[in-house]
Amino acid sequence: METQYRFQKKHILGIEDLSPEDISFILDAADSFKEISQRSIKKVPTLRGKTVIHLFFEPSTRTRLSFEIAAKRMSADTFNISASTSSAQKGETLVDTARNLTSMNPDIIVIRHSSSGSPHLLAKHIGASVINAGDGTHEHPSQALLDMLTVRENKGQLKDLKIAIIGDIIHSRVAHSNIIGFTKMGAHVHVSGPATLIPPGIEKMGATVCHKVEEAIEDADVVMALRIQKERQFDPLFPSLREYAICFGVNDTRIQSAKPDAIIMHPGPINRGVEMTCEVADGKRSVIMDQVTNGVAVRMALLYLIMGGEDR
């Protein structure tokens, strides 16, 4: 007889901490939550009486909205604290913020912060469950989970797929979480982009580094392009956006060599014409809109599971 699996995580700080069983379990739960979002009354009472605080130290529209919709569909009480309204600018430290939040007795805190490891610091100083909604250049676990859900829906499995991730790997928490996650699930991740944007030791996290974008894309089941951050001026990472688009942009020509049924992904927001052309982003292989839909389902699953998965 097999032993009963139980989801036992209190926090979701990174894909690094999740086992393949945890990941499959979350994706299965998300599958079942998708149905709720298709009902005419999109609400279940699962988290009634629970308090979820969205603590966002970085501007974000889509991730915060996605978490908020997820919490509201589960009937939780939600509060938003964003950098502009928080005490961060008055010099309050994250630890102080955590202590103040404790007095409000929240059940879950969803945090986004520009410093890697800040969710870990928060978790150390607060009794509530913490969900990492993106920390610095470290991890963005809910994004990787929704990406895995999207791929699983389209491909029926994750094992043995070839996943090409193109672009700014070093500054991308999405790439980090996806490399860890897809590798854990038995897929093969190939990364490519300017060598200045490929972090040291990424091979040891399971990724294969390709010097040519074409090599990464060849026979790929999934092609994912990452957002180029235009603001990084102090470090000369590549000559120009124009050259980037020419040498590393995902365009119709480049995706020819992917598998015929390959899907195209992007965590958004897209710099159209830089890391991806409009034709590709809006083309028939693009599943970018599915990613957004799946985001809500995955986040509902996470909220549900870390609250102990009480009967629905």
Partner 1 sequence: MTTKPLLLKNGRIIDPANNIDQQGDILIINNQIARKGKSGTLSCPDNGRIVDLNGKWIVPGLIDMHVHLREPGEEYKETIASGTQAAAAGGFTAVACMPNTNPVNDCQTVTSFILAKAEKEGSARVYPVGAISKSSSGTELAEFGEMKEAGVVAVSDDGRPVANSQLMRRALEYSSNHNLLVISHSEEMSLSQNGAMNDGILSTRLGLRGIPRVAEEIMVYRDLALAEYVGRPVHIAHMSTRESVDLVRRAKAKGCKVSAETAPHYFSLSEEAIGLYDTKAKMNPPLRTHDDMLAIRDGLRDGTIDAIATDHAPHSVMEKDVEFDQAANGIIGLETAVPLTLALVNKNILTPSRMIELLSVNPARILRVEGGTLSEGKIADITVIDPEKKFVYSKEGIVSKSKNSPFLNWELTGKAVLTILGGKITFSDLEI
**Catalytically annotated residues:** 62-63, 90, 112, 140
Residues making contact with partner 1 (CB under 8 A):
16, 93-95, 113, 115-118, 120-121, 135-139, 170, 173, 176, 199-202, 204-205, 234
Of 95 and 289, nearer to partner 1 (C-beta) is 95
Q: Over the Cα atoms of the chain, what is R_g? A: 19
Q: Which class for 38: exposed (0-12), middle (13-18), buried (19 or more C-beta within 10 A)?
A: exposed
Q: Which is nearer to partner 1, 115 or 208 (CB)?
A: 115
Give yes or no for a contact between 209 and 202, defined as CB atoms under 8 angstroms apart. Answer: yes
CA distance 22 to 43: 25
| Exposure class string for 175-200: b at 16+ Cβ within 10 A, else e | bbbbbbbbbbbebbbbbbbbeebbbe
- Of 84, 68, 118, the closest CA to residue 98 belongs to 118
Question: Which of 103, 56, 49, 53 minimizes the C-alpha distance to 76?
Answer: 49
Q: How far is the CB of 29 from partner 1 (least distance, A)?
A: 26
Closest distance between partner 1 and the C-beta of residue 136, in Å? 5
For residues 68 and 139, which CB has a smaller minimum distance to partner 1 in the complex? 139
How far apart are alpha carbons 302 and 295 in whole angstroms?
11
Cα of 187 vs its chain's centroid, Å:
17
C-beta closer to partner 1: residue 80 or 115: 115
Nearer to partner 1, 73 or 138 (CB): 138
* Distance in Å, CB of 234 to partner 1, minimum: 8
Quote the least distance from Cβ 101 to partner 1, whole Å: 16
In whole angstroms, how close is the CB of 260 to partner 1 at the nearest point? Answer: 34
Contact 253, 279 (CB under 8 A): no
Q: CA 141 → CA 44, 111, 134, distances in Å?
A: 24, 12, 7
